[in-house]
Amino acid sequence: MKRSKIKVFQVGYNKCGTSSMYQFFKQNDYSAIHHKGKTDGTIVDNLSKGNNFLDGLDMYDIFTDSDYITREFALLEHLYPTAKFIYNVRPLDAWIKSRVNHGMGKRPGLPWFKKRYNIQNNKQLESFCWSEFKLHNDRINNHFVGVKAKKLLTFDIERDNVKKLIDFLPEFEFIKQPNFPKVNVGANKNEKLDRNANIIKN
């Protein structure tokens, strides 16, 4: 297993290629973790005990699919000044469609999410996700400005070439996997919502 001199934090939402991002690094023999339960639980436990943020997770260099990390990217950028951040995105209508299918379909989806915000149907979930994505996008792009902008890569999982990701991380040696893997691709990825099909941009 290869180790990197820096930490890499994925800070886009689920249903934006988080599993693919994890597999990309794993296939290149880097230590990555894709388990929000373990990651978020360990972080919360560390904070409650006054420990370092990533105690117990030191063996990992890449962190994907963590709600806490996605939400607290600014704190991580402060605590780990050499770290880099990958803001994984996709066309907004496709993301919302995938989130609705996950959250309101046959799978349990996001029960805490629906309960907390009293979401009862697809329309309510679409509206909430639309606002949530826009707010997170604004927070990301308002934080990574000036010299901090070099720490952030916005990577469109449907449109960008993997070379963009490789060029962003000269600290890494990517030798096994020249392509970005497609993991958990939904059958309805091309369906459109009745909204403008725009990608969130810087």
Give the model confidence (pLDDT) of 49-86 as tens digits.
999 999 999 999 999 999 999 999 999 999 999 999 99
Range of the structural domain that residue 60 is part of: 8-168
Name the pTM for this structure: 0.84
Q: What is the mean pLDDT of the chain?
A: 84
Determine whether 189 is exposed, middle or buried from the number of CB atoms within 10 Å of its CB (0-12, 13-18, 19+). middle
The reply to whether 64 falls in a domain is yes
Higher pLDDT, 106 or 199: 106
Number of domains in the chain: 1
Residue type, 77: E
The reply to whether 159 falls in a domain is yes
Give the model confidence (pLDDT) of 165-192 as tens digits.
999 999 998 876 567 777 765 544 443 3
Strand order in the sheet with 32-33: 32-33, 62-63, 8-10, 84-89, 152-156
Q: Dihedrals φ, ψ of 66, to 5°?
A: -115, 120
Q: Classify the C-alpha dihedral 194-103-139-60 as positive or negative.
A: negative
The reply to whether 22 falls in a domain is yes
The reply to whether 187 falls in a domain is no
Give the model confidence (pLDDT) of 1-14 as tens digits.
888 889 999 999 98
The reply to whether 192 falls in a domain is no
The CATH number linked to 73 is: 3.40.50
* DSSP H/E element including 89: strand 84-89
Determine whether 194 is exposed, middle or buried from the number of CB atoms within 10 Å of its CB (0-12, 13-18, 19+). exposed
